[in-house]
């Protein structure tokens, strides 16, 4: 199975932008950041180009790439398009080890610490590790916490886990603390793609007060006001996907909101 062995894979559009130092520096300086999530399955080429037109204007900080379930083999194609259009760090946000690709700059090495599925706490990581090593990807150990967004999401169904209750910040705080004590360097609180309700502000601020790591928040963010509240509560990076796929102009509005927080 470990057919890649120790051969370093060289890909024609391999990335070389360091991501974790940017995350950490922005967190320490109180600088808010915005990530656009691209699900290669969810966008045809015309929609992808529309988003990349906006992304190329320098208003976002990262492109996250991945999905809980991919039905079409479009990762390679999307990565090439992105590299051709936008000089941005590309961060894999993988739903499975099938989404490892040397054309990205970094990978969120996700431990699903809100759940109790051993496959997503260590099992899939063992399978993925040699491929990530051979792809030469920067690996960002990330505590991934699914938060109840008001309805089942693809992420909760595919991961076979229950999301954390949105109205129980104490559970989120203890989970976040345990994650950082285990050495996870970033926490990603996610209400899930297309969530009815984004991660509650009270939960973000409770976790923010408890840990000293960059906080990524995503899922169900649809308006500049929701973004403003999440950043104000202590989010460092906001991730948006669905809403900007439907309305690409929202990306510019979110970027303008981010400027309110310029340190
Ligand atoms: C999902 O956090 C991301 O994992 C983004 O969610 O598509 O709802 O913006 P949306």
- The enclosing domain of 106 has a CATH number of 3.20.20.390
Tell me the pTM: 0.94
Phi-psi region of 164 (alpha: psi -120 to 50; beta: other; left: phi over 0): beta
10 within a domain of the structure (yes/no): no
Q: E strand or H helix at 123, and its extent?
A: helix 123-135
9 within a domain of the structure (yes/no): no
**C-beta of 219 in contact with ligand 1 (< 6 A):** yes
pLDDT at 129: 98
Residue among 25, 36, 19 nearest 85 (CA): 36
CA separation for the pair 84, 63 (Å, rounded): 13
pLDDT at 14: 64
pLDDT at 263: 83
57 within a domain of the structure (yes/no): yes
**C-beta of 147 in contact with ligand 1 (< 6 A):** no
118 within a domain of the structure (yes/no): yes
14 within a domain of the structure (yes/no): no
108 within a domain of the structure (yes/no): yes
Count structural domains, the chain: 1
Counting ligand 1 atoms within 8 A of each CB, the residue from 51, 192, 230 with the most, and so the one to mutate, is: 192
15 within a domain of the structure (yes/no): no
- How many A from CA of 73 to the centre of ligand 1? 20
**C-beta of 242 in contact with ligand 1 (< 6 A):** yes
Q: What is the pLDDT along the chain (263 residues), one digit of tens a residue?
A: 334 444 444 555 667 789 999 999 999 999 999 999 999 887 889 999 998 988 888 899 999 999 888 888 889 999 999 998 888 999 999 999 999 999 999 999 999 999 999 999 999 999 999 999 999 999 999 999 999 999 999 999 999 999 999 999 999 999 999 999 999 999 999 999 999 999 999 999 999 999 999 999 999 999 999 999 999 999 999 999 999 999 999 999 999 999 999 88
Question: Could you tell me the residue range of the domain that residue 253 belongs to?
Answer: 31-261
60 within a domain of the structure (yes/no): yes
């Amino acid at each position: 199975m470990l057919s890649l062995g120790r051969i370093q894979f060289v890909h024609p559009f391999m990335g070389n932008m360091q991501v974790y130092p940017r995350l950490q520096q922005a967190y320490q300086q109180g600088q808010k950041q915005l990530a656009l999530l691209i699900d290669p399955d969810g966008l045809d080429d015309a929609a992808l180009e529309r988003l990349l037109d906006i992304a190329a204007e320098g208003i976002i900080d990262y492109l996250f790439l991945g999905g809980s379930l991919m039905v079409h083999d479009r990762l390679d194609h999307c990565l090439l398009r992105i590299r051709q259009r936008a000089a941005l760090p590309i961060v894999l946000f993988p739903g499975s080890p099938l989404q490892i690709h040397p054309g990205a700059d970094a990978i969120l090495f996700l431990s699903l610490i809100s759940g109790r599925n051993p496959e997503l706490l260590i099992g899939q990581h063992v399978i993925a590790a040699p491929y990530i090593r051979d792809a030469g990807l920067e690996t960002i150990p990330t505590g991934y916490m699914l938060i109840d967004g008001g309805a089942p999401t693809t992420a909760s169904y595919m991961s076979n886990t229950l999301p954390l209750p949105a109205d129980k910040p104490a559970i989120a705080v203890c989970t976040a603390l345990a994650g950082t004590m285990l050495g996870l360097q970033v926490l990603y609180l996610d209400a899930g793609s297309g969530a009815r309700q984004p991660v509650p502000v009270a939960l973000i601020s409770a976790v923010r007060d408890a840990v000293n790591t960059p906080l990524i928040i995503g899922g169900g963010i649809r308006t500049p006001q929701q973004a403003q509240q999440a950043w104000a509560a202590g989010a460092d990076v906001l991730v948006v996907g669905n809403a900007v796929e439907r309305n690409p102009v929202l990306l510019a509005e979110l970027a303008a909101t981010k400027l309110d927080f310029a340190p």
